[in-house]
Amino acid sequence: MRVRKIVTHVEEVLTEGGRPVDPAARVAVVAAVIENPWAGEGFVDDLNPGIDGTASPLGELLAPRVVEALNADVEAYGKAAIVGLSGEVEHGSALIHTLKFGDHFRRAAEASTLLPAVEKRGPAGIVFDIPMKHKTDATVRSHHQTVEIRIADAPHADEIVVALAASAQGRPQQRLADLSTER
């Protein structure tokens, strides 16, 4: 795995809807810009060697960093893979949609649900949203949220941006009724 750079983004929402948010709503994202392990190879039938050499080390690198950046207990989480224009969306999916990658974050966050994800292909500087859901109950509406990210110089055509997002709470000022109230 060849990492060009790691980007950490932390935001705190202090007011929402004209009202204070106390404590501040905290969200962290850590993204690694890596060389696409399949770059320059044309169409690759068997992605497993690239997955085996990249997915677990990448999860091991990112999971503790995003938990540390959040500096609070993780309540919601998500992931992303943004593939440069010379790659395939499947290259990003191959890295993040495997237990070799995701289990590192589940353990670090003490989580059990599937990690919501976004994957797409785009040029350097593309804006992408990382969806998040509650770490143990994906039906908890208050924790369905997204965080928007942009890395100005990534991904290059032969790179993939892989990111993890964590939130210390649900949406600020959330007021939706519990899913169980609907019939």
pTM here is 0.96
At 143 the three-state DSSP class reads: helix
* Rounded-to-integer distance, Cα 91 and Cα 78, Å: 18
pLDDT higher than 70, residue 37 = yes
* Beta strand residue intervals within 41-90, DSSP E: 76-83
Give the pLDDT of residue 125.
Answer: 98
Question: Which string of b and e fits 24-41 if b means at least 16 CB within 10 Å?
Answer: ebbbbbbbbbbbbbbbee
State the sign of the Cα–Cα–Cα–Cα dihedral 55, 60, 66, 69.
Answer: negative
Q: What is the mean pLDDT of the chain?
A: 96
Q: Are residues 103 and 131 in contact, defined by beta-carbon separation less than 8 angstroms? A: no
Which of 125, 53, 47, 49 has its CA nearest to residue 90? 47
Which of 74, 70, 65 has its CA nearest to residue 112? 74
Residue with the bigger pLDDT between 117 and 138: it is 117
pLDDT higher than 90, residue 182 = no
Structure tokens at 176: 């939706």
Give the pLDDT of residue 76.
Answer: 98
Give the pLDDT of residue 183.
Answer: 67
pLDDT higher than 90, residue 94 = yes
- Domains of the chain, earliest start first: 3-145+160-172 (3.30.1330.110)
Taking 3-state DSSP, the helix, strand and coil percentages for the chain, each rounded to the nearest 5, stand at 25, 35, 35
* Rounded-to-integer distance, Cα 103 and Cα 78, Å: 12
Task: Please give the average per-residue pLDDT across 93-97, as a whole number.
Answer: 98
pLDDT higher than 90, residue 40 = no
